[in-house]
Amino acid sequence: QLRLVESGGGLVQSGGSLRLSCEASGSDSDHYHIGWFRQASGKEREGISCTNRYGDTTNYHQDSEKGRFTIARDNAKNMVFLQIHSLKPEDTAVYYCAASYWYCSAYVMDYWGEGTLVNVLS
């Protein structure tokens, strides 16, 4: 079993930056693939990025490829971070981290956190 707890969300002005944190706890938590997802009100959940145990990343969102979303991992602290730059009102969403032992996926992961709300003010 793995437990994931997100933090770092809140109100932020458009153009600002935010770093979200995901703390993983459980056996072999540093072995899991962990990704970030988001779901805006009335929209489907979308994948942002995922990282494996070695820190290799897979990007699912076009803004991850552009560097506006950056995922990072600290296995010593069992933490995965999502840095978001140049926030836009359309980034307003609940942001989730999720984990799977065997793979990264933009859609299906085995464990999910409760999410943290990011609200970007225009």
* 38 pLDDT more than 90: yes
Task: Quote the tokens at residue 95.
Answer: 């942001």
CA 116 to chain centroid, in Å, comes to 10
User: pLDDT exceeding 70 applies to what percent of the chain?
Assistant: 100
Q: Considering the chain, what is the average pLDDT of its residues?
A: 95
pLDDT for position 82: 98
**What's the average model confidence in pLDDT over 30-59?**
95
User: pLDDT exceeding 90 applies to what percent of the chain?
Assistant: 84
Residue corresponding to tokens 């978001």: 84
| Beta carbons of 59 and 36 less than 8 angstroms apart | no
Burial class (CB in 10 A: 0-12, 13-18, 19+), 119: middle
Task: Work out the pLDDT band at 101, boundaries 50, 70, 90.
Answer: very high
| Beta carbons of 2 and 99 less than 8 angstroms apart | yes
